[in-house]
């Protein structure tokens, strides 16, 4: 886990909360905007089958750790199959990288969220929304 933390730079700007029109109606967009992410195109829809306990698989353990990094804990959803919405996102620092935001939903509410970098050998893995995954410290 320390390797995961070593590969990321936490965004420390206190001015991260950029409010945009429509955020009140769409908590998913509001969450992404809160951490400075802009969406490119429409999201793709999927499902994520959560093991019981959620930490039984490495992948879901990493998703949970990243989600907890921004205060979202979906461990209570163990054993359920939940909708997973995947967004291609950018911010000013991430231009040119294929960064994806993954939002896990339960009862129309975001219960988990994490980032991944597609095809980037230098920063593989799962990251909280409040990091710049391709930046090294």
Q: Name residues whose C-beta falls within 8 Å of residue 130's C-beta, 6 or more positions apart in sequence.
A: 10, 11, 16, 35, 69, 70
pLDDT per residue as tens digits for the range 68-97: 999 999 999 999 999 999 999 998 765 667
Phi, psi dihedral angles at 118 (to 5 degrees): -80, 130
Whole-number Å distance between alpha carbons of 4 and 2? 5
pLDDT digits (tens, 9 = 90+) for 98-122: 899 999 999 999 999 999 987 656 5
- pLDDT > 80? residue 27: yes
Q: What is the chain's mean pLDDT, rounded? A: 81
More reliable by pLDDT, 20 or 58: 58
Q: How far apart are CA 7 and CA 25, in angstroms?
A: 34
Give the closest residue to 112 by CA, choosing from 58, 69, 52: 69
Span 15-43, mean pLDDT?
79
pLDDT in tens, 48-73: 999 999 999 999 999 999 999 999 99
More confident residue, 26 or 96: 26
16 pLDDT tier (thresholds 50, 70, 90):
very low
């Amino acid at each position: 886990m320390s390797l995961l933390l070593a590969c990321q730079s936490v965004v420390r700007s206190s001015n991260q909360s950029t409010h945009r029109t429509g955020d009140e109606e769409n908590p998913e967009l509001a969450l992404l905007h809160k951490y400075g992410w802009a969406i490119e195109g429409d999201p793709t829809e999927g499902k994520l089958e959560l093991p019981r306990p959620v930490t039984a698989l490495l992948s879901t353990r990493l998703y949970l750790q990243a989600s907890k990094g921004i205060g979202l804990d979906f461990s209570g959803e163990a054993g359920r199959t939940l909708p997973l919405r995947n967004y291609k996102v950018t911010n000013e620092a991430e231009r040119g990288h294929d960064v994806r935001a993954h939002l896990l939903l339960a009862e129309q509410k975001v219960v988990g969220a994490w980032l991944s970098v597609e095809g980037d050998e230098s920063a593989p893995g799962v990251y909280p929304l409040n990091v710049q995954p391709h930046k090294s410290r």
